Amino acid sequence: MSKTWLITGTSSGLGRLMTERLLARGDRVVATLRQPETLHALHGRYPQRLHLLTLDVTDSAQLRATVAAAFAWAGHIDVVVSNAGYGLFGAAEEVSDAQIARQLATNLTGSIQLIRAVLPFLRAQDGGRIMQVSSEGGQIAYPCFSLYHASKWGIEGFIEAVAQEVAEFGIDFILAEPGPTGTQFAAGLDQAEAMPCYEQTAAGKMRQALTSGAFKITGDAGKTVDAMIACADEEKPPFRLPLGSTAFFHIRQALRERLDALEACEQRACSTDVQ
């Protein structure tokens, strides 16, 4: 049976590829993006099953109106994919206030407001699924991505709580966590002006690796999207979906290190209880 999807950030990358593959298999898609003309050719191929809506996820009023228009057109939406995102690169001291505001408004507040906007509609239709495109960077951290990580760790924490709040309404979540993947993400990074004092630090080395190509991109975009779609089709999908070997091994290592560090604090932690 075909499904109906609402996907944000469909102009390029994983969002566009997912839209194309879903349409090719016979599904309906409400695709949101800031410049709908980007998908006019695709709409010409699927005029009955692709609905384009203009959306800047940082505009909460527009977001609510767009979500209402999406459900009005579709009637019922099976899967909402929160994919719109923005990458900021630079040491914490290097990035500007405006860059920080844009990073959090897009990846964190925008994703939060999208989820808040769709919940009443999903409740009214007795359930649905929300897939949040996070990142391995929602559980681990690289230097020079501190604000990006803040947005991804933040949205994962938000969803951890909301998933418990709405489970009884038949609404569930998938946190998709791709590692470095062959999209245009790296090329589209908003890079802060480098400060010479960081050149020989971990931040400087990360910048060198990114600019030289030494930072390896191991994930295949097509396979990543196929895995996301397959997971969304499952009756009981995993709550977190690591994508790519880099993501899997980095997250596993980070979790093991955190667990070891936590267990080392057991006696001290328990010593602070009321006796």
What is the structure's pLDDT at 217? 82
Q: Please identify which of the residues 82, 111, 134, 146 carries the catalytic annotation.
A: 134
Vertex 184: Cα angle to 47 and 13 (nearest 5): 30
What is the structure's pLDDT at 214? 80
State whether the Cα torsion 107-12-129-252 is positive or negative.
negative
Averages of pLDDT over runs of 10 residues in the chain (275 residues) are: 95 96 98 96 97 97 98 98 95 97 97 98 98 97 97 98 98 96 76 95 94 84 96 97 96 98 98 95
Helix and strand numbers (H, E) in the chain are: 10, 9
Cα(197)–Cα(177) distance, integer angstroms: 32
Per the annotation, the verdict on 135 as an active-site residue is no
Q: Please identify which of the residues 82, 111, 146, 152 carries the catalytic annotation.
A: 152
Per the annotation, the verdict on 134 as an active-site residue is yes
Per the annotation, the verdict on 148 as an active-site residue is yes
Q: Please identify which of the residues 46, 86, 142, 148 carries the catalytic annotation.
A: 148
Domains of the chain by range and CATH? 4-246 (3.40.50.720)
Residue whose entry in the numeric block shows the structure tokens 């960081």: 198
Q: How far apart are the first and last CA of the chain?
A: 59
What is the structure's pLDDT at 43? 97
